[in-house]
Amino acid sequence: MSGMGIGLVAWAFVLGLRLNPTVNRSVLAAPVSTTVRAGARSGAELYATSCANCHGARGGGRYPVFPPLAGSPRVTGDAAQLVPVVLHGMSGPTEVNGVAYNGLMPAFDHLDDRELALVLSHARTSWGNDAGAITEADVAWIRGATATSQTK
């Protein structure tokens, strides 16, 4: 199956979970190992295991469902706009660099503040992106400030 096919299957699965509220999602959550919590993985490793299947190993995205992270103003812009998308997920149409995408990004709130800071900093400094790092404190503050909201 091609990368696009895998991405579409993953997207359909997550969409099915959103449309069927009777599914107990907690049993589907991937366990986070203690080595991740202990800080054994880099932002690049977290990206490879958490993001690359949809957004590509080089952040190029997969049209028409998963937008690119390379060259994305959302990725390189204000952290207060980026962190909630990763924490709470988003669905529906979005546009990146004049190209329309329509997909679903699941919430990654199972990652701790340190892990989110590492993976987002990786995306903000890779593939030609030249944005500043996001700190663990930034993520913690944004997590608290957006705890009762959901990004669309």
In a domain, 150, yes or no: no
User: What total of structural domains would you count in the chain?
Assistant: 1
- The reported pLDDT for the residue numbered 147 is 85
Work out the pLDDT band at 18, boundaries 50, 70, 90: low
Question: Contacts for 29-36 with beta carbons within 8 Å, 24 or more apart?
Answer: 29/110, 30/110, 32/110, 32/111, 32/112, 36/115
Q: What is the CATH number of the domain that holds 62?
A: 1.10.760.10
Query: How does pLDDT run across 59-87, given as a tens digit for each residue?
Result: 999 999 999 999 999 999 999 999 999 99
Rounded to an integer, what is the distance from CA 133 to the centroid of its chain?
16
Query: How does pLDDT run across 20-62, given as a tens digit for each residue?
Result: 544 444 434 444 443 445 455 899 999 999 999 999 999 999 9
In a domain, 132, yes or no: yes
In a domain, 151, yes or no: no
Average pLDDT of the residues of the chain:
82
Per-residue pLDDT averaged across 98-109, rounded?
A: 94
- The reported pLDDT for the residue numbered 15 is 53
- The reported pLDDT for the residue numbered 152 is 47
Which of 109, 70, 108, 106 is CA-nearest to residue 91?
A: 106
**Gap between the Cα atoms of 142 and 145, Å rounded:** 5
pTM for this entry? 0.72
> Domain containing 138: what range?
3-145
**Whether residue 12 has pLDDT greater than 90:** no
Please report, rounded to a whole number, the percentage of residues in the chain having pLDDT higher than 70. 71
